[in-house]
Structure 1
Amino acid sequence: MASWQAKVLNSVLSYIAKPGMHARGTRLSLADIRRRLLALDSRYLAWPKGLVSENLSLSHSCLIHYRLEPGAAPTPRIAIFYVRGGGFCFKTPNAHGRFIADLCRELDADAYVPDYRLAPEHPFPAPLEDVLEGYERFLSRWSGPFVVMGDSAGGNLAMSLLLQVKEKGLRLPGCAVLLSPALDLGITGNSERLLSADDPLFSIESLLRLRGAYLQGANPMDVRASPLHGDLHGMPPMLLLAGTRELLLEDSERMALRLRESGAEVEQHFLAHMPHVFPLFEILPEAREAREFILEFIQRRLM
């Protein structure tokens, strides 16, 4: 049974967030939606206390180094390379900053976040190129243990990054954590299940719109866009988290199965009645439960 907080959140998402791709019956541009999300993010979510950032320049974007203020935490023992989600088109710095700050406090960690270019202005593969360049810059600065994380579209980019890292012979993380990842832009799963999903946040229309804005005619079966179909041999231990009300749930289920078939260590937690990327909603008891799964998994693998 979902908590009362989760029931309220699902209702809010269904009646306010889900119709947000439109306004008064008019379809909003993705640029307009981006501006609205950024305004809401900064207005209603305060920047986490004690978290400071430094921008490291990349060719077309930057890598953000997040750290807790001196005295707020000991010297970092591990690092988190975190790829933020946002449907390839949006970003919510404060929402993600709060989540990342909590992880940094609990794990005595620094975090590195690629501020990749966004679609539709910069379609596939530009965001992934930025993430890969950010990862290479990260490796030049950090030699200790680390985890790669990503949520939603960031989960797609994080998984695609791991495939690229393996192909290029770069250093892989000690483990990886994916939250509600979008792993199959080819949409090759069970279409009946997809159409019947009771997702409080995404509709089929919005999912296809964001997918189209990112791909813009590129082959959706390219493994850089649909990492579910890549060669998963040699992947690090991985934790997959998702909610059972998600359109994208099957992506996580299929990835867990494919990872096991490829010999990788994988753990999964699919929490009943939870919406997309629910661990970011810190007010939910289920989010706190999911965060415990994440912390325990990382601690067991890296510490």
Structure 2
Amino acid sequence: MAAALTSAFVRPIANAIPASRAGIAFSRAFIASSLWLASPPLKGSRIEPGIRGEWVRGPEVTEGNAVVLYIHGSGYALCSARTHRGLTTRISDGTGLPVFACEYRLAPRHRFPNAAEDVRAAYDRLLDQGYRRILVAGDSAGGHLAVDLAAQLIRERREPPAALALFSPLFDVTFSLAAQRERMSPDPMISAAAAARLVGLYTVDADLASARLRFTFDDIKGFPPTIIQAGGLEMLAADAIELARALRRAGADCELEVVPGQMHVFQALTRFIPEAEPAMERACRFLTGNLPAIVRAA
């Protein structure tokens, strides 16, 4: 029912909005209000400002030397840490860990690799603050940024995150995989063409064959354990499947869940979709199950 209603009312709006300054402003307001309605922050959670982001703690969460870095999605252009509090408060509650939801510079004003640089800066700040056990979670474009972060750290022979949880991650920034999937069944939320226009605001001057945008993992060994969740009705299910294949070919421990009948980032729709909560619980168990033993300061 949720998918049918979304297809009838949201998809036409999403496809009609132009990738202009006015269109982006409308989309930001529309998505912010929609997420607040569909998945309000978990009651009893605490939100505190941080450097280029915010700290989120579930009702019973205390401090430690482990943390979750959350990277929001929405095409590198639309959302923020604030819009994703429904997700971040539940991740904090489910893992028992504080979550730092980073803010990154948004397109169209800021283009590749600005967002990726801001995510890396957030990770480095967590290290500087004494966190030695870092988990990473992200949705949609945030999933792409999470994979890029881990890959870059490995290439630099730096310690990558302990584990990743990716919700409906973007893998193919050209949207060729999504377009193929769309020909079998339209995505309830948006068309591949409209999504490509939005992401194109970020990648417009970039080489789409760059290793930072088109992941191959040919030179990557030791990628962190990763869980990928996607909805069976969304076009980015194709991206989720191909990303899982690529990670497994590289030797990574990767769990893939394509949940039948679900939409893009359905975990954020807790008020309307019963499958959202158990999926989030599975993702949180995966993250904490791959958290290493306590690291003592030298």
Global fold match (TM > 0.5): yes
Q: CA deviation at 1:129?
A: 0.9
The worse-fitting range, judged by mean Cα deviation, of 183-192 and 108-117 is: 183-192
Amino acid at match of 1:18: R
Cα distance in 1, alignment partners of residues 96 and 233 from structure 2: 33
| Correspondences of 1:62-141 after superposition (within 5 Å) | 62-68=52-58, 72-76=60-64, 78-91=66-79, 93-141=81-129
| Correspondences of 1:94-243 after superposition (within 5 Å) | 94-187=82-175, 189=177, 192-228=180-216, 231-243=219-231
Q: 1:44 to 1:246 in 2, by over 3 A?
A: closer
Q: 1:216 to 1:249 in 2, by over 3 A?
A: same
Q: CA deviation at 1:90?
A: 0.7
Q: Which residues of structure 1 form unaligned runs of 5+?
A: 1-7
Asked whether the equivalents of residues 199 and 246 of structure 1 are also in contact (C-alpha less than 8 Å), the reply is yes
Q: Deviations over 1:222-256 (max 9, x none)?
A: 12123356644220111111111111111111111
Q: Deviations over 1:126-175 (max 9, x none)?
A: 11111111111111114342311110010011111111121223321111
Query: Stretches of 4+ moved more than 4 A in 1?
Result: 22-28, 39-47, 92-95
Asked whether the equivalents of residues 156 and 226 of structure 1 are also in contact (C-alpha less than 8 Å), the reply is no
Asked whether the equivalents of residues 47 and 94 of structure 1 are also in contact (C-alpha less than 8 Å), the reply is no
Whether 1:248 aligns to 2:236 is yes
Secondary structure of the equivalent of 2:275? helix
Whether 1:302 aligns to 2:291 is yes
Cα distance in 1, alignment partners of residues 189 and 129 from structure 2: 38
Q: 1:181 to 1:25 in 2, by over 3 A?
A: closer
Q: 1:200 to 1:191 in 2, by over 3 A?
A: closer
Q: CA deviation at 1:33?
A: 1.6
Secondary structure of the equivalent of 1:227? coil
Amino acid at match of 2:285: E
Whether 1:51 aligns to 2:45 is yes
Aligned-residue identity in percent: 27
Amino acid at match of 1:184: D
The worse-fitting range, judged by mean Cα deviation, of 23-32 and 179-188 is: 23-32
Q: Deviations over 1:25-69 (max 9, x none)?
A: 998622222233334445776444333333333xxxx13222346
Q: Residue in 1 aligned with 2:295?
A: none
TM-score, normalised relative to structure 1:
0.85
Q: Residue in 1 aligned with 2:2?
A: 9
Whether 1:33 aligns to 2:27 is yes
Asked whether the equivalents of residues 77 and 199 of structure 2 are also in contact (C-alpha less than 8 Å), the reply is no
The worse-fitting range, judged by mean Cα deviation, of 244-253 and 44-53 is: 44-53
Q: CA deviation at 1:96?
A: 1.7
Cα distance in 2, alignment partners of residues 55 and 114 from structure 1: 10
Amino acid at match of 1:15: A
Q: CA deviation at 1:116?
A: 0.4
Q: CA deviation at 1:93?
A: 4.2
Amino acid at match of 2:115: P
Q: Residue in 2 aligned with 1:4?
A: none
The worse-fitting range, judged by mean Cα deviation, of 114-123 and 141-150 is: 141-150
Q: 1:9 to 1:261 in 2, by over 3 A?
A: same
Over the residues paired in the alignment, what is the CA RMSD in angstroms? 2.6
